[in-house]
Amino acid sequence: MDKKKSNRGALLGAAFIMATSAIGPGFLTQTAKFTNDFGASFGFVILSSIVLALIVQLNVWRVLTVSNFRGQDVGNKLLPGLGYFLAFLIVLGGLVFNIGNVGGGALGFNTLLGIPTTIGCFLAGGLAILIFLFKDAMAAMDKFTKILGALMIAVIFIVILMVQPPVGMALKETIAPSSGITSLFSPILTLLGGTVGGYITYAGAHRLIDAGYTGLDNLNHVKRSAVMGISIATIVRVFLFLAILGVVVKGVTLDPSNPAADAFKQGAGELGYRFFGLVLLSAAVTSIVGAAYTSVSFLKTLHPLIQKNDKLVTICFIILSTLVMALIGQPANLLVIAGALNGLILPITLGVCLIASQKTSIMGETYRHPKWLLVTGIIVVIITAYLGMTSLSNLGQLFA
């Protein structure tokens, strides 16, 4: 019975580590900025990114768990050295994100309790490190991300009740946006990159591999966990969108330096501002944990010393992120731009998995990748590559 409970916990844990890795400070900033810019039309961006993200996750999670190879190993099996290149991109992106996540945690402590941001950096990093000091760090990570993920949903829902957003308008614009479709390309790419780009693509799948959910026999479990992960991230995104929309439809222009915090403050006063601090702190710390765990999982199989000391390497990764953040301060718009750049990496990582899905040397003789997933996956690669190219020219303008 305990083993079954532990297995269920790992499946839910994989879903939550994927979702909470996505729901970081950048996630909050992106949602607030784009809701302020596009109003109810941002619902269309959310819907588009959900569909694309689900196709990405179902493809990647299937290939990795059935083959029992992590992302870097799949790359090296396809082309010697490709896995090392992927690992470099993912770990570098994970480090950049994690520096911002630590900064977000510091702001969360400052907003919630008035703690100076420099001290808050070390508190946020220290809280994340505590998770990996537990004897069973994986179980502790699963429980931690589940509790804070549920807390974020509850707090944002309370703010929705306070601001009473126009749900009917949001639904209408989600299907037929009044903003021009082409103007929504950059937000779609940014949201997709922030939800399943970079290290986030692999967070849940690598957790399932560590938990032993591999091979054809576990495919149903893998699919359920992937859908659950996207669903959790979607619920938070939609709730956050509605909470902020309820403020901006009243003609309020959000403070561009911290649009999410300003939305909560304008909508629910000082209590709302403190609520935002709690949401930001939860989002930041769970993202620090997810980014560090997944980034190090890309280094595990590259050297036996890292495999043997993975907890220590993960802690060092968090310490490095914390020190950099404490020394350089919070970089403006780093997390939003990092989300867009992660979207540019996405066609490469998904493309690698799609090619691998057709290789019996990787997937085994009996596995058959669903044609609909292959076709839609190729479409997503083309779309994200196109969006990436068209967005490069106006990315600077978007964040000006």
Number of independent structural domains in the chain: 1
pLDDT attached to residue 66? 94
What crossing angle do the helices spanning 259-297 and 82-113 adopt, rounded to 10°?
140
Is the CB of residue 260 less than 8 Å from the CB of residue 31? yes
pLDDT bucket at 343, cuts 50 / 70 / 90 = low
CA 293, distance to chain mean position in Å, is 13
pLDDT attached to residue 374? 96
Q: What percent of the chain has pLDDT over 70?
A: 90
Structure-token match 């429980």, residue found: 143
pLDDT bucket at 145, cuts 50 / 70 / 90 = confident
pLDDT attached to residue 399? 45
What crossing angle do the helices spanning 137-163 and 2-22 adopt, rounded to 10°?
50
46 vs 322: CA distance, rounded Å: 31
Give tens-digit pLDDT for 71-112. 889 999 999 999 888 888 888 878 888 888 888 888 889 888
93 vs 87: CA distance, rounded Å: 10
Least confident residue range of 12-26, 81-95, 242-256: 12-26
Is residue 38 situated within a structural domain? yes
Give tens-digit pLDDT for 34-81. 999 898 999 999 999 889 889 999 999 999 999 999 988 999 999 999
Residues 272-276 have a mean pLDDT of: 88
Predicted confidence (pLDDT) at residue 390 exceeds the cutoff of 90: no
CA 42, distance to chain mean position in Å, is 18
- The region, left, alpha or beta by phi > 0 then psi within -120 to 50, assigned to residue 81 is left
Q: Which tokens hold the place of 291?
A: 């980014």
Residues 131-144 have a mean pLDDT of: 82
Higher pLDDT, 80 or 343: 80
pLDDT attached to residue 10? 75
Comparing CA positions, the residue from 172, 150, 130 lying closest to residue 239 is 150
Instruction: List the domain range (segments joined by +) for residue 388.
Output: 9-399
CATH code of 129's domain: 1.20.1740.10
Is the CB of residue 148 less than 8 Å from the CB of residue 108? no
Is residue 252 situated within a structural domain? yes
Please provide the average confidence, as pLDDT, over all residues in the chain: 84
pLDDT attached to residue 312? 92
How many CB atoms within 10 Å of residue 216? 14
Predicted confidence (pLDDT) at residue 398 exceeds the cutoff of 70: no
Least confident residue range of 72-86, 146-160, 200-214, 384-398: 384-398
How many CB atoms within 10 Å of residue 306? 17
191 vs 209: CA distance, rounded Å: 26
pLDDT attached to residue 139? 81
pLDDT bucket at 1, cuts 50 / 70 / 90 = very low
Q: Which tokens hold the place of 23?
A: 């729901």
Least confident residue range of 61-65, 117-121, 152-156, 331-335: 331-335
Predicted confidence (pLDDT) at residue 298 exceeds the cutoff of 60: yes
pLDDT attached to residue 210? 86
Is residue 189 situated within a structural domain? yes
18 vs 57: CA distance, rounded Å: 10
Comparing CA positions, the residue from 59, 78, 66 lying closest to residue 374 is 59
Predicted confidence (pLDDT) at residue 397 exceeds the cutoff of 60: no
Q: Can you give the pTM of this predicted structure?
A: 0.84
Is residue 174 situated within a structural domain? yes
Higher pLDDT, 340 or 42: 42
CA 365, distance to chain mean position in Å, is 33
pLDDT attached to residue 339? 54
Is residue 186 situated within a structural domain? yes
Is residue 246 situated within a structural domain? yes
Instruction: State phi, psi for 357 to the nearest 5 degrees.
Output: -65, -20
Is residue 1 situated within a structural domain? no
Q: Three-state DSSP class for 320?
A: helix
Predicted confidence (pLDDT) at residue 225 exceeds the cutoff of 60: yes
Higher pLDDT, 213 or 181: 213
